[in-house]
Amino acid sequence: MSVVAAQFNVGHLDLLDTARTSMDAAGYDKVVLAGNYVAGVAIGKCVDGAYTTADTLDAVLNKK
């Protein structure tokens, strides 16, 4: 029996960076990408990602 660990495809993080840069350039600087496809698929990574997203939203909404 083999175990397959969930993981991002090669180049996934670069694609996220490109998406963020493109959204900023198009004027969507208040759109925040969030979810397991951003932070990671493991439960711990999802929780960490939620905290990071909350901090990002706080900064975006309060223009820190």
Kindly tell me if the per-residue pLDDT of 1 is higher than 70. Answer: no
Q: Which helix (H) or strand (E) holds 2?
A: none
pLDDT number for residue 18: 96
Residue 58 lies in a domain: yes
Residue 43 lies in a domain: yes
The number of folded domains in the chain is 1
Half-sphere exposure of 3 (CA within 13 A, CB side): 1
Report pLDDT digits (tens) over 12-63. 999 999 999 999 999 998 899 998 888 888 889 889 999 999 999 999 889 8
Whether the CA torsion 52, 53, 58, 60 is positive or negative: it is positive
Residue 33 lies in a domain: yes
Residue 51 lies in a domain: yes
Kindly tell me if the per-residue pLDDT of 64 is higher than 70. Answer: no
- Domain span at residue 45 reads 29-64
